[in-house]
Amino acid sequence: MIKFPNTRMQRLRSSVNLRRLIRETELTQNDLIQPLFIKHGKGVKQAITSMPGQFQLSLDYLEEEIQEISQLNIPGVILFGIPEHKNATGSSALDDNGIIQQAIRKIKTINKELLVISDMCFCEYTDHGHCGVLNQNNQLDNDATLELLAKQSISHAKAGADIIAPSGMMDGMVAAIRQGLDSAGFINTPILSYAVKYASSLYGPFREAAEGAPQFGDRKAYQMDFANSNEALREAALDVNEGADMLIVKPAVNYMDVIYRIKQAHPEIPLGAYHVSGEFAMIKAAAANGWIDEHKVALEILTSIKRAGADFILTYYAKEIAELLSKSENI
């Protein structure tokens, strides 16, 4: 006679409500941050072809967008700017009346409680598309860029940014920004550091959206080698020691092992993961071909990112998934 097992794991999977009762990882609207691309001009709602459903928006379209995000109970947005003019130093990023500074002020008049995260980098503002100023050899000048990052951060904090998020992978960026913010009186403005940002091929759609592709070379000299994970632990530790209040791993899906390791190493530090443009675009493309159920796949992937250790997720799916979570009880 065949002896059947006494322990049957399927007993705990037999109904929707039983599965809900014992679910280990719960994805909610509270876990999501929506990226926005703000472009100089008026009447601009330019579709981003490689990112269906995402747009470059001018300031006059912000109210409609922010109201929608607020109604979905998404706690915050992260802003990327496309200025009218670019130059070698990205000086428009420091302008108190720059495109993102204006956007921050406008958002705060629409919903003052919505968290506004301001991305600190220069790739959208420089005519060469690199993440800082260059030296005479057309190489990134790390230390000169730090001075500008501090000034940029102060300007964005003055405009009302709730969180400053340096993303350029400059050595010492957190310390420089913390010193700058504190000296300007913004001691309570937290820093969300892109501590672990890989030189990934998954950023292509973003570079279209932000109009910030490098005009020559690449960013491998300052972003991380995708083959490395021990290095990520060192990067995170350096930023924590410099005063980072929160950390980001970017991209997310191909780096869930890194997310897990960073969270294990720094359980006390809130950890974000950026589900990047290429990861978003791949789901959209497969769904457009009828190969997958888009929202089920997106929900599975985002939940997996959280299961790996992320406390929150920056994702272009924020609005779609927030709406799905608000309506569906049978997930």
Catalytically active residues are: 197, 250
DSSP string for 254-299: GGHHHHHHHHHH-TTS-EEEEE-HHHHHHHHHHHHTTSS-HHHHHH
Instruction: Specify the residue for token string 């000086």.
Output: 91
Phi, psi torsion values for 202, nearest 5 degrees: -95, 10
56: number of CA atoms within 13 Å, CB side? 22
Whether residue 192 contacts residue 146, with contact meaning beta carbons closer than 8 Å, is answered with: no
Which ranges in the chain belong to alpha helices (H)? Answer: 16-21, 62-71, 99-110, 142-159, 173-183, 204-210, 230-242, 256-265, 277-288, 294-308, 318-327
Collapsing DSSP states into helix, strand and coil, what is residue 177? helix
**Rounded CA separation 67/115 (Å):** 13
Torsion of CA 213, 216, 217, 218, to 10 degrees: -10
d(CA 35, CA 203): 14
